[in-house]
Amino acid sequence: MNSIQIRTMARDFILNEFLPGERPENLTDSTELITDGILDSLATLKLVAYLEKSCGIEIAPDELVPENLNSIAQIANFVQSKQAST
């Protein structure tokens, strides 16, 4: 999966699950998902489960940090690095 595919997939999931009715252009690649309160701890776990299933990766508990999951861009970079290491 390339970065654009991952970004699109993550954005669509977040919009559908956590921001229903929000305009897609309001969720940019740099929107801070955790810091801005879009993702709480349960939403983060739901996103992680989705990423694991959809992208064929395993995310360790110590990887559940804002540096990996706080924006669409960070999610895409993180998923690509996980895919490259498998």
**CATH value at residue 39:** 1.10.1200.10
Taking CA atoms, 1 is separated from 25, 34, 70, 77, in Å, by: 22, 24, 20, 11
What's the domain count of the chain? 1
pTM: predicted TM-score of the whole model, two decimal places: 0.94
Show the domain range for 79. 3-84
Mean pLDDT by 10 residues, the chain (86 residues): 96 97 95 96 97 97 96 98 90
